[in-house]
Amino acid sequence: MAIEFLKKAEKTSATGEDETRKIVAGMLAEIEAGGEDVAKAYGAKLDKWDGNIVVGPEDIERASAQVSDQLKDDIKFAYDRVRSFAEKQRASVQEFETELSPGLWAGQKLIPMASAGCYVPGGRYAHVASAIMSITTAKVAGVENVIACSAPSIERGGIHPGILYTMNLAGADHILALGGVQGIAAMAFGLFTGHKANILVGPGNRFVAEAKRMLFGRVGIDLFAGPTEILIIADKSADAEVVAVDLVGQAEHGFDSPAWLIVRDRAMGEEVAKRMQPLIDKLPEVQREAATAAWRDYGEIVYCDSDEEAAQVSDEYAPEHLEIHTENLDWYVNRLKNYGSLFVGEETTVAFGDKCSGTNHILPTKGAGHYTGGLSVHKFIKVVTTQRMTREANRDVAQVTARISRLEGMEAHARTGDIRLHKYFPDEEFNLQL
């Protein structure tokens, strides 16, 4: 039994958190106190945008004209699959009512949230797919009012045309040209739209993630998220080039995006390690700089001499994205427990899920896969319970309630049962205290 690091990360997901919290806390407080004017000021300072914050029909029409027919077809391809998967998710949970005992019925109702705020990253990369993942899923869930925001730029004349076109296609009711913390704050506080988001969803950088975390409780959030993560489990049957390309494919997200590899064969680990930097060096400058820092500071290669150890290490990481490149795929599918989304076999990859294959790419990071899955229609729906019963059913339920309440020392609770027994069964003897 052995677990050995062939490459160890120099930094962790907690690096720099204290500074981030301080910055975000100050911004949220200022925006809540100052409202729209302060949000606009932050937009002008950080997004370098002093145009309209609320996107109008003419802006959407202008953006649509800039999107090629091929890109529109591709966006529709992704939208159709994400929508279809979300519809299946919605159908998997139903309202019901059941009779628990004679005359006592209990059930559940599914109530969509009234308003959702969807953040779509638009800084370093134009995350068209994130607009599909968040807005489409909210609409399939039945959310009546969906607010979407993304960072604008002077060069583009506002929000990236591809993002804006997709936001509209997916069904956004309000679109704001605001990025970062100011965008999150505007949706949470109901600025520019008059609708306060009940839930905030969508990926973003560490400042966006921290803003959502700080607002959690006042509003719901999809999940606690940080920089994107990938973990691959590979044995000697894996293709080292494919594995390395997939690791680089996620490392380009940003300088703090972890890329982890668990190998069952040392030679495979060494071969992948040898290929990483040459593959990174072939990327354009922005992506090259991000992937170089991510692999240098956050990349890890772990050797395990048994499948059980490999699965155990993977479950400890609880990665956002988990790929399996092994001969015994089914064993890992049945054994693994902690991850955001699982990609089984070489034929699929994280990028497919990220962009268009159907499953949602807004997923738990920083170990949150231990206790939650990713964004789904269920995140936008409140599962609430209902109860009704006949007067006859009160004979047993009220007496048990009163006895348990008195055991707990809650006399007023007990008397709510007593009064019903007295009213419904006036001729019967009970130990009542009214």
What are the tens digits of pLDDT across the range 290-319?
999 999 999 999 999 999 999 999 999 999
The mean pLDDT value for 267-293 works out to: 97
- Residue 184 scores a pLDDT above 80: yes
The answer to whether residue 147 scores a pLDDT higher than 80 is: yes
Extract long-range pairs of 333-336: CB within 8 Å, 24+ residues apart: 335/307, 335/308, 335/311, 336/311
**Residue range 2-13: mean pLDDT, rounded:** 86
Contact 176, 146 (CB under 8 A): no
- Picking from 136, 151, 258, 111, the residue whose alpha carbon sits closest to that of residue 201 is 136
pLDDT band at residue 17, thresholds of 50, 70 and 90?
Answer: confident
Residue pair 382/412 in contact by the 8 Å Cβ criterion: no
Residue type, 386: T
**Which member of 320, 323, 346, 361 is catalytic?**
320
pLDDT at residue 1 above 70?
A: no
What is the model's pLDDT at position 364?
Answer: 93
Can you tell me the distance from the alpha carbon of 222 to that of 360, in angstroms, rounded to the nearest whole number? 12
pLDDT score at 145: 98
What pLDDT, on the 0 to 100 scale, is given for residue 48?
93
d(CA 191, CA 171): 20
Ordered structural domains, the chain, with CATH: 3-15+227-373 (3.40.50.1980), 35-222+378-383 (3.40.50.1980), 390-424 (no CATH)
pLDDT tens digits along 83-100: 999 999 999 999 999 999
Does 321 qualify as catalytic in the annotation? yes
Dist CA 50 CA 159 (whole Å): 12
Using alpha carbons, list the distances in angstroms from residue 14 to 197, 213, 227, 336. Answer: 28, 14, 11, 25
Q: Three-state SS for 117?
A: strand
Maximum CA pair distance of the chain? 89
Per-residue pLDDT at 224 exceeds 70: yes
Q: Cα–Cα distance between 308 and 295 in angstroms, integer?
A: 26
Backbone φ and ψ for 261, nearest 5 degrees, come out as -130, 125
Decide: helix, strand or coil at residue 58: helix
Q: Is the pLDDT of residue 181 over 90?
A: yes
Check residue 14 and give its pLDDT: 65
**pLDDT for 12:** 77
| Active-site residue identified among 160, 321, 325, 361 | 321
pLDDT digits (tens, 9 = 90+) for 359-403: 999 999 999 999 999 999 999 999 999 999 999 999 999 999 999
At 351 the pLDDT is 96
CA pair distance 288, 141, nearest whole angstrom = 38
Give all strands of the β-sheet with 3-7 in edge-to-edge order. 3-7, 300-304, 259-263, 230-234, 321-325, 341-344
Q: Note the pLDDT tens digit of each residue in 35-80.
A: 999 999 999 999 999 999 999 999 999 999 999 999 999 999 999 9
Amino acid making up residue 41: A
Number of residues that make up the chain: 434
Average of pLDDT values for 411-426?
Answer: 96
Mean pLDDT of the chain: 95
Provide the pLDDT for residue 206.
87
DSSP 380: G
368: DSSP letter: G
Neighbours of 294 (CB within 10 A): 27
What is the distance in angstroms between the CA of the first residue and the CA of the last residue of the chain?
68
Amino acid at 115: S
pLDDT, residue 125, reads 72
Predicted pLDDT of residue 229: 96
pLDDT value at residue 322: 98
% of the chain surpassing 70 pLDDT: 99
Task: Enter the tokens of residue 404.
Answer: 């348990």
Do 142 and 109 meet the contact criterion of CB atoms below 8 Å apart? no
- At 10, the pLDDT band (50, 70, 90 cuts) reads confident
